[in-house]
Structure 1
């Protein structure tokens, strides 16, 4: 192969004769250059595509992380709301338990239970063998259901205790209004109800009460709970106290040394209302005890013989 080189200035030319190996090398270079350019373009394309894919992957990953962060925040808020709701429910249950404890102590006192027989101030004694197969998984939903069930049981107990309180109150009221026993702690019957010889005139008269001889200055006791309706001096009775017990029943306590109550006072059974004396038409220290039913005098003996409740 011959190669001719032309000089533009001098219009001269030079020629070269290429050998077989030179021609082979030149052919190889001519073929390799396009292939190299193609390979370079392909590599540049790959790099550019990989870079674009990496950018898209990073964007997608960032979007996914942002979504997960948002979901996590929403879950955290939901859990916080549930915890607040459970906390409020627990606080309400604790308040109701406190009220139940107070009501239980009140009912224990009303029922006259012995000390320590039913102590609401102490936690209940519990125990038993471990039974793992029956253990409860207190998940969020499970705990909420347990609290709801416990609240319902508390409501049932509150209703039952309320009914029991009403029954005990009625029983106490009946006990308080039940006339029974003597109007003094120590003493003896010195004069009964009905016909007798008057101690001052010696003539036969009608005695509308029972006289209990006792120590001067000792307590005169109410034989039932009620409201004091009259206090003061009355002809023949001396210093007297009158108590209304409801249901038409009235009791009187006369010849007192001193009255300890005033009209309108509410008294309980066995409460001191006066001191034994000999005021009025009396021969010595005693209590003149009368009972009226619907305005009429009745024999107090049946009430005196009643067992005190």
Structure 2
């Protein structure tokens, strides 16, 4: 193979004879250079694409990391707020428990309970067989454990207050229905129960009540709670009020100037039911007080001298 080289300036030419090896090298250079350029461009493009993909992936990871950091910050903020709320709740529970303890001790003192009869500082006594077995496993923080303990203590105190309230209510009801004391606020006994000289005839007679003298118009009071069964004028008694107290007890208040209640009224112990007068068979302002037990007249003296149970 010949290669002719032409020199335009000198106007001459020169021919070179190429052998096989030279032809192979020349062909390799002519074909290899474009192929190399193409291959280099391809590899360069692949590398740029890989770099671009790596950049996109890194950007995505960075955004995800930032999102997780924001979520973590929000969780921490919520946890701090919850901890603050639990701390405030714990303080409120402590205050409630203190108030309940003080109230319970005050009510216990007011109830005049014997020492040891009702110990508010101790949980209420209770028990019973175990109905089935339960295995409960849980994990809580120290603050949650404290809250749970305070909740339990509050439940105990509230239960004890309920018991104490029931006890006081029952005692109050018993006290209200307990016949005791005098049927007047001020005055004195002018005649006792039993045999006496009748003030009108001068002859011996049986007196079925106790007379309490006092100022006309002063209050006549109920000696126990009950239901008014009679008001009105009755021969010998004048204006009378009759009250039924249950358990077979009935009391009568006679010679009143004016009744302050009506049949069917529910009255409480110590409530004013009439005004003292001198109506009926009477020599002066007083109240004739009678007590009936199961329909039989009994001496009111034992009930007048009664004290609180």
TM range (shorter): 0.5 to 0.7
Q: Which residue of the partner structure matches residue 57 of structure 2?
A: 59
Deviation at 1:286, TM superposition (A): 0.5
For structure 1, the residue ranges without an aligned partner over 5 or more in a row are 18-26, 114-139
- When normalised by structure 2's length, the TM-score is 0.66
Alignment of 1:86-101 (within 5 A): none
Closer/same/farther in 2, CA of residues 65 and 248 from structure 1, 3 Å limit: farther
User: Does residue 254 in structure 1 map to residue 254 in structure 2?
Assistant: yes
Closer/same/farther in 2, CA of residues 301 and 145 from structure 1, 3 Å limit: same
Q: Residue by residue, what CA displacement relative to the aligned partner does 1:43-101 show, whole Å, maximum 9, x if unpaired?
A: 86256324324324523642674587489669969969x96xx89xx7xx99xx6xx97
Provide the rounded CA distance (Å) in 2 between the counterparts of 1:208 and 1:68. Answer: 100
How big is the alpha-carbon RMSD for the aligned residues of Structure 1 and Structure 2? 4.4
8 Å Cα contact 1:5-1:14 kept in structure 2: yes
Deviation at 1:285, TM superposition (A): 0.5
SS in 2 for 1:257: strand
Provide the rounded CA distance (Å) in 2 between the counterparts of 1:60 and 1:156. Answer: 60
Provide the rounded CA distance (Å) in 1 between the counterparts of 2:109 and 2:256. Answer: 33
8 Å Cα contact 1:4-1:13 kept in structure 2: no
Deviation at 1:308, TM superposition (A): 5.4
Q: Which residue of the partner structure matches residue 181 of structure 1?
A: 181
Closer/same/farther in 2, CA of residues 297 and 152 from structure 1, 3 Å limit: same
User: Does residue 45 in structure 1 map to residue 34 in structure 2?
Assistant: no
8 Å Cα contact 2:188-2:214 kept in structure 1: yes
Q: Residue by residue, what CA displacement relative to the aligned partner does 1:100-125 show, whole Å, maximum 9, x if unpaired?
A: 97xx59x8599489xxxxxxxxxxxx
Deviation at 1:234, TM superposition (A): 1.2
Deviation at 1:40, TM superposition (A): 8.8
Deviation at 1:281, TM superposition (A): 1.0
Q: Which residue of the partner structure matches residue 266 of structure 1?
A: 266
- When normalised by structure 1's length, the TM-score is 0.66
Q: Residue by residue, what CA displacement relative to the aligned partner does 1:112-168 show, whole Å, maximum 9, x if unpaired?
A: 89xxxxxxxxxxxxxxxxxxxxxxxxxx95554444443333222221111100000
8 Å Cα contact 1:111-1:168 kept in structure 2: no
Q: Which residue of the partner structure matches residue 166 of structure 2?
A: 166
SS in 2 for 1:49: helix
Provide the rounded CA distance (Å) in 1 between the counterparts of 2:65 and 2:48. Answer: 25
Q: Which residue of the partner structure matches residue 276 of structure 1?
A: 276
Q: Which residue of the partner structure matches residue 239 of structure 2?
A: 239
Closer/same/farther in 2, CA of residues 245 and 77 from structure 1, 3 Å limit: farther
8 Å Cα contact 1:222-1:270 kept in structure 2: yes
Q: Which residue of the partner structure matches residue 298 of structure 1?
A: 298
For structure 2, the residue ranges without an aligned partner over 5 or more in a row are 17-24, 113-139
Q: Residue by residue, what CA displacement relative to the aligned partner does 1:13-36 show, whole Å, maximum 9, x if unpaired?
A: 71179xxxxxxxxx9xx98x9689
Closer/same/farther in 2, CA of residues 251 and 72 from structure 1, 3 Å limit: farther
8 Å Cα contact 1:110-1:168 kept in structure 2: no
SS in 1 for 2:56: helix
Provide the rounded CA distance (Å) in 2 between the counterparts of 1:209 and 1:301. Answer: 9
